[in-house]
Amino acid sequence: MGSIAYTGPAKNILIRGIGLSGISFLNAIRFEPAGGSLTMEDVAISTQSNGDGSGLRFAPAANASLTLRNVRFQRASAGNGAAIRIVTGGHNVNVSLDNVKVSGGVSGIMIDATAGGLARISIKDSTFANIAGPGIAAYSGNGDIRLYLDNVTSVNNNHGLVANGARTTAWLGSSTIAGNIIGIHRAGNSSVFSYKDNYIFNNTTEGTPLPASPTPVQGMPSGEVASAQK
């Protein structure tokens, strides 16, 4: 099965209403432009067969944004891949997931800011389930990650949520983390705040308690709006 890739100058790209299955390429969809945006709506990606393959790799060469609406990933990662892999590469990225379903595979969404840059990631009304590795994982390194989860379900995975690095901050509201080996894993002095309306239960290791979120959201730059703020 073919793949979709764009690595040119800044451009706003829309992918809508397609299905990709039986993926044998490293990435089913690869977006590495010099800026711009990628929007995916009503897309289904399934069965990644490449040894280190991902369903979507978003690694722009300049500041860029990604929006996923009504997107399905089924067994869309293999080896060291992820259904959704976000790599800042020293740039600033804004990522929004709305009604995204990830099931099976080795990793759900993997956010890599280790080379620097700022990743603002908003995930709402989305599910990560039955994944061999982490459902949601964020690694800040030399960059910054702000992760906002609103009505997100991460169940029956190895890890429900991994937050790694002192410059990784996550906020959880109205979300369910259940049935994982480890519910919430905080490493490297990362911060995970709760709005105290979440359901975190039946994980072998819960990873709780979580501190209550300050109001307004702690560490938010002036003018930034957090989707998780109530």
Structure tokens at 58: 């978003």
Tokens of 43: 């897309």
For residue 227, pLDDT beyond 60: no
Overall average pLDDT of the 45-55 stretch: 91
pLDDT band at 221 (very low <50, low <70, confident <90, very high): very low
Q: How far is CA 91 from CA 54, 59, 123, in A?
A: 21, 9, 20
Provide mean pLDDT across the span 189-201. 96
Question: What confidence tens digit (pLDDT) does each residue in 160-172 have?
Answer: 999 999 999 999 9
State the Cα–Cα distance between residues 196 and 51, nearest whole angstrom: 40
Q: Taking 70 as the threshold, does the pLDDT of residue 226 lie above it?
A: no
Residue 149 confidence (pLDDT) above 90: yes
Is pLDDT at 66 greater than 90 in this prediction? yes
Alpha helices in the chain (DSSP H): none
**Percent helix, percent strand, percent coil in the chain, to nearest 5:** 0, 55, 45
- pLDDT given for residue 195 in this prediction: 92
Structural domains present in the chain: 4-201 (2.160.20)
Q: Which residues pair with 64 in a beta bridge?
A: 36, 93
The tally of CA atoms less than 13 A away on the side-chain side of residue 136 is 34
The confidence band for 25, taking pLDDT boundaries of 50, 70 and 90, is: confident
CA distance 73 to 124: 16
Is the pLDDT at 220 greater than 50, yes or no?
A: no
Partner residues linked to 148 by β-bridges? 122, 171
Give this prediction's pTM.
0.93
Encoded tokens for 86? 């976000």
Instruction: pLDDT band for 2, please (50, 70, 90 cuts).
Output: low
**Per-residue confidence (pLDDT) for residue 23, from 0 to 100:** 87
Give the per-residue pLDDT at 215: 61
For the segment 121-130, the average pLDDT, to the nearest whole number, is: 97
* Local confidence band at 218 (pLDDT 50, 70, 90 cut-offs): very low
State yes or no: pLDDT of 81 exceeds 70. yes
